[in-house]
Structure 1
């Protein structure tokens, strides 16, 4: 059977990382046709060119095409990988700055910034999913890498679409922990649990032995430096939190940092400009080192492994966003969570999880209700629902900031 993969948002500076994975891991997943789609041809052209050179260097024998025609990209596709940024980096900068005027965290996937991104993104991705149903191959899978991944995946599954959410945080952290322990990452099994960008690693098992105490003890200082967390907090938690949990555990510190002008959006704009210029070099046929600064490390490994398991049914275990279906106590079966799941041709099957302690479960439950309200607001464009969603988010909470942020959001459809 031939395999066609369509990448929607193919003009992303992440895409050469993805192309490298398809070329490097072709023995596991032999893609016959790779189509890069983007509405911005000025980005798509240099990105597609460097992807072609990277694939040729790996000896890849498939067909690479690029197009601004969505129907052409989707026709007959077996896997549709979605990596959109609706509104571009300017919208991200707005997401990170607008909440600051109301004394709240500005961040592209959490808090009010993540809400703004979800309100723009969910309707676009749902429209795209309808197009997938009309034009892609029967039973095509939608792989969502678009942030906020948990909310977008919840919307897709609630809409009846065949979708799985993917994030590179879990695989990145596994490799970092493996390096600290001095073992191959394939030997390390981490208990990754929570919601997208709201997760903890609760164990780190190598050859049947949980080495989490060693990570938090002997390697605690290095781990704390990487995560930008106080070492004492890591040891109190007894787990490794996602770096995104800084916004919840260290809210005042992170807010002050942003108010002082430290905004990731501005860094990314500079990195993207540099990358696009590098991609225009006709001699470049490898991933430039600057791509690591963009934040998509191991994205290709995660994406290729997921698509390969969905294709061949091998049953690999991977951290994905999937329906709970009873795996994590304390949440509804239809809630989308991010946990280790076994992947086969029928999809992702979440592995049973230990119950979360009260302090973790309470935050997860609150955030899941925020996510559900946000999906509803994005689909209905109902102002009251949008306001309640912002008030349900622990990084916004209060009525006045929520109302002020909502009034200032440049959302096309009036709420």
Structure 2
């Protein structure tokens, strides 16, 4: 059996133990000889590494585990790179959320001005990572990218590093499909979804279970209950109060626009005023994560160091780790599995620009994704996608050109922001907050 060398970039992420568990659970099919955690924050990575070491011992002690901050050691001869970097950590996510809310605008890490700010922080670190892969990794390396905001990252990488072997994915559609499976009382893997849009900006058009069309049945349920399953089978990551509220909000979108089933992130664009009204401007999702999952994992490390006792199961997130491994396996073995991924449009959605980075079903081969053509989409969906795509395109151009004007255009164009006056206020505050991360904008 072929063995692979795999790097997790952002090894200090609290999601790393769950990804490693999902990866090593597949050792009979997808054997890892060497697993490397690479991060620029050694202190954080070393703490998470304590848990990852225990996961490796539990699931596949034959794997060589390396923790490093050195690019050559991290990427040398790597076959796969799982990227999950968070530039600025949760301290900057907090600013992404709270600065817009100050102006009664949606504060969210990947949507609206927060997403644009996060994108401006992430573009050039992603370029650097690709350059490390080109310099050190196996010539047939694949990067499977989870780093957010995935739509902006994908668009920028196709522009700045068009020959990079990178596949951009997102686990949110899969998490929604997990809830759909719970609603329809089936296994997630039995669901085949038709879908179109941008990342965090899309719709499911058909849902089949083992070939049987369940779309209308599911739409009727979602109109009444949203994506909240009839029992508690959803995994913990998406089962706290704020996520339950997010899944419930899908019913309002379905009641107004019943043609397609929405991605939950559409709430920020279509229900923005309600989202802002219900938000706590002083205590956002970033605070919840820092006080919850972040604190939990680092407290567990401290407890383990003091007592030698640790409960690993609390760190095993489900679809997040499973999905990235499933995609990597399809790339590795040319198995042509069907997944929702981000690709350059090139006619996949007939009436959108060819250079738009769209999220659609594709067959994943050893040479990358083969998108399934969606055809034309209706005017309403086309119009708001074009507006969002233009906002993302402008922010990428702002980063590349160092253009304040294009950044202001990107913020003004975004549907979550009501006027150019508000866009300028938010942008100027974001520039101040991101001084050590953003390209200079003049």
- TM-score, normalised by the number of residues in structure 2: 0.88
Q: Tell me the equivalent position of 1:215.
A: 218
Distance 2:352 2:217 in 1: 31
Kindly provide the CA deviation profile for residues 194-218 of structure 1, in whole angstroms up to 9, marking residues without a partner as x: 1111121111112332111111224
Q: Per the alignment, do residues 224 and 74 of structure 1 end up closer, same or farther by CA in structure 2, a change over 3 Å counting?
A: closer
Q: Match for residue 233 of structure 1?
A: 253
Alpha-carbon distance in structure 1 between the residues aligned to 2:158 and 2:39: 24
CA contact (8 A) 1:180 1:219 kept: no
Equivalent residues in 2 for 1:15-414, closer than 5 Å: 15-159=16-160, 160=162, 161-218=164-221, 220-225=223-228, 226=244, 227-229=247-249, 231=251, 233-235=253-255, 236-259=257-280, 261=282, 263-271=284-292, 272-280=294-302, 281=304, 282-284=308-310, 286-288=312-314, 297-409=318-430, 410-412=433-435, 413-414=439-440
* Aligned-residue CA RMSD (Å): 1.8
Cα deviation, 1:212-231, whole Å, max 9, x if unaligned, reads: 11112246433355522263
Following TM superposition, by how much is the alpha carbon of 1:120 offset from its aligned partner in structure 2, in angstroms?
0.9
8 Å contact from structure 1 (residues 118, 152) kept in 2: yes
Supply the distance in 1 between the matched residues of 2:198 and 2:172 (Cα, whole angstroms). Answer: 12
Any unmatched runs of 5+ in structure 1?
Answer: none
Task: Show CA shifts across 1:54-93 (max 9, x none).
Answer: 1221235221111121221011111111111111111000
Does the Cα contact within 8 Å between 1:20 and 1:287 map onto a contact in 2? no
- The structural deviation recorded for 1:339 is 1.3
TM-score normalized with structure 1 length: 0.94
8 Å CA contact 2:402–2:440 kept in 1: the answer is yes
> CA separation of 1:219/1:333 partners in 2, compared to 1, >3 Å: closer, same or farther?
closer
Rounded Cα–Cα distance in structure 2 between residues aligned with 1:231 and 1:219: 5
How big is the shift at 1:325?
2.3
* DSSP 3-state at the match of 1:256: helix
CA–CA separation in structure 2 for the residues paired with 1:403 and 1:195? 25
Question: C-alpha separation between the residues in 1 aligned to 2:30 and 2:321?
Answer: 12
Worse-superposed segment, 251-260 or 28-37: 251-260
Of 87-96 and 234-243, deviating more is 234-243
Work out the CA distance in 2 between the residues paired with 1:318 and 1:408. Answer: 39
Distance 1:101 1:233 in 2: 26
Secondary structure of the structure 1 residue equivalent to 2:35: strand
Q: Is the 8 A contact 1:107 1:113 kept in 2?
A: yes
Within 1, Cα distance between the matches of 2:388 and 2:276?
19
Secondary structure of 2:355 counterpart = coil
Cα deviations by residue, 1:94-132 (Å, 9 ceiling, x for unpaired): 000111222311111011111111111111111221122
2 CA distance for matches of 1:408 and 1:255? 19
Cα distance, 1:411 vs structure 2: 3.3
Query: Are residues 78 and 224 of structure 1, via their aligned partners in 2, closer, same or farther at CA, if it must alter by over 3 Å?
Result: closer
Partner of 2:234: none
- Take 2:143 and 2:281, find their aligned partners in 1: how far apart are those partners? 39
